[in-house]
Amino acid sequence: MDKRERPRVVLGVSGGIAAYKACELLRRLTESGHDVRVVPTASALHFVGEATWSALSGNPAGTEVWESVHEVPHVRIGQAADLVVVAPATADMLAKAAHGLADDLLTNTLLTARCPVVFAPAMHTEMWENPATQENVATLRRRGALVVEPAVGRLTGVDTGKGRFPDPVEIFDLCRQVLARGAEGLSQDLAGRHVVVSAGGTREPLDPVRFLGNRSSGKQGYALARTAAARGARVTLVAGDTALPDPAGVDVIHIGTARQLREAVLKAAADADAVVMAAAVADFRPAVYATGKIKKREGQEPEPVTLVRNPDILAELSADRARPGQLVVGFAAETDDVLANGRAKLARKGCDLLVVNEVGEHKTFGSAENEAVILATDGTETPVPHGPKEALADTVWDLVIARLDQPRP
């Protein structure tokens, strides 16, 4: 691809210990065809040197406005960018950006950029929770920047808490989403909204080593969580059985059984604007849980397994809305009579939207792609052609946004 056709990304790196993780983000961006200009702060160069940024990006990586002045870099870099991502963003950088300071190349670039801007903060919990930082974050979000919630986990030294830099692969994914939305990436149409998404399969234990599970990979639910975060929502992801990494900027609650999923979803739904139930929740669980491993005994047939019903979480959420106007979206995985079964399920469950897709051993489960029809209670049916699970997720959010705050029967 010609250099001029490649999406132009400015990777701002400020002086946090997580600067080394931005090297991985840079590699992902360059290897996927982006033209990346790294703009580190002087502090960032204490952690990772200019040579690394320059060699990995194939572009100069100066920190000051006084270098190559004839090219007017303090204006041109921001003007030409399709996306600016500051990762890691220090408390200091968030403060400077919120106040419009412009004392180095990165802060000048932030003032001249007309494209979407993503900040991935990383710092100690105390710095993150400080009211000054929180107010700066709120200011930046109000102005349309996407400020990713830091992850919870190990911090510098022996500390643990909120403030950890999210997985660079997940930040890369978020950047891709924002870039894919183009000019729309500037409008955070889910900003100020709290959405709850469930994803993955549940595990219903039979004994300490065995469980009843299903083939759900969690990819569709994770795509819903990622796309909602990219559109500015506060996202709670209730994740069942899945091998996927936690998405950047999303609060993830890991659960095992359908009953644990119910508890976590109902709690998170209390103040949610929308709940999307993409998890494959087991309809049944073994009636009896054997506290010791069920043994194979010579000459004896195994005891039959009796199943009992699990709670119907989608029906419960739909019938008892946690707050007025809350939108509930269900998923129907069908193998036969897909649409007819979907329409019947929409009527039975009482949710607002139902995403109906056909599943099978080699269809949908585990795949990065999906195809579906989204049924709405107002009778509209929105077909979503075969494509990435992110595209289906974005269509779900478009339909949700169109219905939020609308009076419904």
Ligand X SMILES: Cc1cc2nc3c(=O)[nH]c(=O)nc-3n(C[C@H](O)[C@H](O)[C@H](O)COP(=O)(O)O)c2cc1C
Residues that bind ligand X (CB under 6 A): 14-18, 41, 43-44, 90-93, 122-123, 127, 156
Contacts of 380 (CB under 8 A, 6+ apart): none
Sign of the Cα torsion 205, 238, 221, 247 reads negative
302 alpha carbon, distance to own chain's centre: 44
* Cβ neighbours, 10 Å, residue 339: 14
- Least gap, CB of 146 to ligand X (angstroms): 18
Residue whose C-alpha is closest to residue 220's, from 119, 335, 110, 356: 356
Residue 273 and residue 326: Cα distance in Å, rounded? 5
Check if the beta carbon of residue 184 is closer than 8 Å to that of residue 209: no
Q: Is-catalytic flag, 357?
A: no
> Which of 119/397 has CB closer to ligand X?
119
- Least gap, CB of 56 to ligand X (angstroms): 19
Residue whose C-alpha is closest to residue 193's, from 277, 273, 276: 273
- Least gap, CB of 12 to ligand X (angstroms): 9
Catalytic residue of the set 59, 108, 214, 370? 214
- Least gap, CB of 85 to ligand X (angstroms): 15
> Which of 16/168 has CB closer to ligand X?
16
> Which of 91/140 has CB closer to ligand X?
91
> Which of 98/230 has CB closer to ligand X?
98
Residue 246 and residue 235: Cα distance in Å, rounded? 12
Residue 30 and residue 36: Cα distance in Å, rounded? 6
Burial 353-370 (b: 16+ CB within 10 A, else e): bbbbbbbeeeebbeeeeb
> Which of 52/217 has CB closer to ligand X?
52
- Least gap, CB of 385 to ligand X (angstroms): 43
- Least gap, CB of 64 to ligand X (angstroms): 12
Residue 167 and residue 193: Cα distance in Å, rounded? 24
> Which of 40/200 has CB closer to ligand X?
40
The set of catalytic residues is: 214
